[in-house]
Amino acid sequence: MPERSLAGRVALVTGASRGIGRAAALALASEGASVAVGFGSNAGAAEQVAEEVRRHGVDAVTLGADLSDAEQAAALVPRTLEALGGVDVVVNNAGLARDNLAMRMSDADWRAVIDVDLTAAFVVCRAALRPMLRQRWGRIINVSSISGVRGNPGQANYAAAKAGLIGMTKSLAREVGSRTITVNAVAPGFIETDMTETLDTQVRVRAVEQIPLGRMGTADEVAAAIAFLASPLSSYITGHVLHVDGGMGA
């Protein structure tokens, strides 16, 4: 059997108890990476993901944190180092949405989304860069959104946070590229997850009408893009935003 591309590496995935984060954790494990499964409140679901990760013959640990608290977010990195002995790959996937028209959006809903979707990702990156710079190797993948590329009515907070992730990705890529650390983003479109399952049928129909491929994507398809950006196959790609959107951003 050929050696897996991430054998011996350690990955930290935030928001990994379900959806895209879960799929990313399993995709990285299938390539040989041990995984720190970050979660917010559902410890049972996170442990279930960790068990699935271990079936790939690698180690896994679950790490709970309130990502609206920057100190808890940053602490995920030293906790990963302590539990698994390193941190080579970071996937900033955790996020929340509190949609409303701008005229009706509260300050609390604005801050909540910025804090979790953008600030938490920044402090995790900042903490992870210390060990990555020392070892002169690392992969950071930030999960943005098509909303952060082209905007979306009723999502001023979410779109601003996801656009901020893209700007941060490009800036960090320029800062740390000389140390063999790549920083990239994926921008999913409409993906079949727990969040989209709650959409009204007419909303889903209108969404699919915007997609050239004529269907929603899957979490596994986004995870495949994340695994590619973490792999040696992407070693000359940094500062890039990989759209996984069925052509919505075309």
At 99-122, the pLDDT tens digits run 999 999 999 999 999 999 999 999
- Decide if 244 contacts 215 (C-beta within 8 A): no
Query: Which CATH number do you get for residue 69?
Result: 3.40.50.720
Give me the catalytic one of 110, 158, 190, 228.
158
Band (244; pLDDT cuts 50, 70, 90): very high
Count: domains in the chain: 1
Q: What is the pLDDT of residues 127-153, one digit of tens each?
A: 999 999 999 999 999 999 999 999 999
Q: Is 107 inside any structural domain?
A: yes
236 is catalytic: no
* Sequence letter at residue 130: R
What domain range is 231 assigned to? 10-191+218-243
Q: Give the model's pLDDT for residue 169.
A: 98
Q: Which of 12, 19, 5, 3 minimizes the C-alpha distance to 35?
A: 12
Q: Give the model's pLDDT for residue 2.
A: 59
Q: Is 174 inside any structural domain?
A: yes
Vertex 187, ends 134 and 21: CA angle to 5°?
A: 65
Q: Is 162 inside any structural domain?
A: yes
Q: Give the model's pLDDT for residue 199.
A: 72
Q: Is 235 inside any structural domain?
A: yes
Q: What is the pLDDT of residues 165-202, one digit of tens each?
A: 999 999 999 999 999 999 999 999 999 987 677 777 88
Q: Give the model's pLDDT for residue 1.
A: 45
Q: Is 213 inside any structural domain?
A: no
Q: Is 5 helix (H, G, I), strand (E, B) or coil?
A: coil
* Element of type H or E holding 47: helix 43-54
Q: Is 74 inside any structural domain?
A: yes
Name, in order, each residue with C-beta under 8 angstroms of 1's C-beta and a sequence gap of 6 or more. Answer: none
Q: Is 197 inside any structural domain?
A: no
pTM (2 decimals)? 0.95
Of all residues in the chain, what percent carry a pLDDT higher than 90? 92
